[in-house]
Structure formats: C-alpha cells, structure tokens
Amino acid sequence: MKIIQLDHLVLTVRDIQMSCDFYTRILGMQLVEFAGGRKALRFGSQKINLHQHHKEFEPKAALPTPGSADLCFLTDVPLNEVAAHLKQNQVEIIEGPVERTGAEWPILSIYLSDPDGNLLEIANRK
C-alpha cells in the first residue's frame, strides 16, 4: 500500500456554528453542507468534517475530544498580512513567526488557537 494524500480529517467541536464562523471568516475556508445537514470546511483539495461533541457520527475515533488537534496549514499569503488579519479579528497569536520543518521544505510559522483550543499553525514555505 502507498498513501498519496490526505483527503479529509474530522474535528470534534463543541459548537459547529462557531467553528464554521471561525474557519470561514478567519481562515478563509469554504463551508460545505452535505448528507443530513453535516458540515465541512473545504480548502485546496482537502476538507475538514465537523462532528458535534457527544453527537459524533459512526464510526468514530475512540476518544473524540474538542481541542485535541494540532494542525498546520500552508498559505501563500505573507505571514505579516496573516498576522494583521488575525489582529484585526481579535485572534491572539500564541507564537511566531518561527522557523519550522514542514513535510517537504522549511516553513515559517505562526501559531493560534481555534474556538475549541485546537492548536493551529499557519505557515509559508521558505
């Protein structure tokens, strides 16, 4: 077997509407609604499916918990513009910019939290 790409991942959240607002308004993702009113966030060729805590869909992870994710997103928007956008929207930058090692190349990153406390890293390729 050879895995070639991540198609989607699932975030368990406390409030789906609050998460939809954050990820669309702050991070520019596209809201997608599919079967049964389920919600997802599309960006590039990937998506994040949202599950409501204690109302998760089967099958599910053993311990789906809001705030347990640590995700890194790449952007081609310069980090100083990302930082200004975050500040304008009252989103605290936890750390950065700092140099990190990405999957394929060095990256420059800033860190923030989403409404559930998931750690989000926004990065530019170096």
Closest CA to 116 of 62, 27, 37, 53: 53
Looking at 53-118, which runs of residues are DSSP E strands? 70-74, 95-101, 106-113
Query: Which listed residue (33, 92, 104, 121) is catalytic?
Result: 121
CA distance 37 to 103: 34
CA distances from 41 to 17, 71, 94 (A): 12, 14, 23
Active site residue 95: no
Name the residues annotated as catalytic: 121
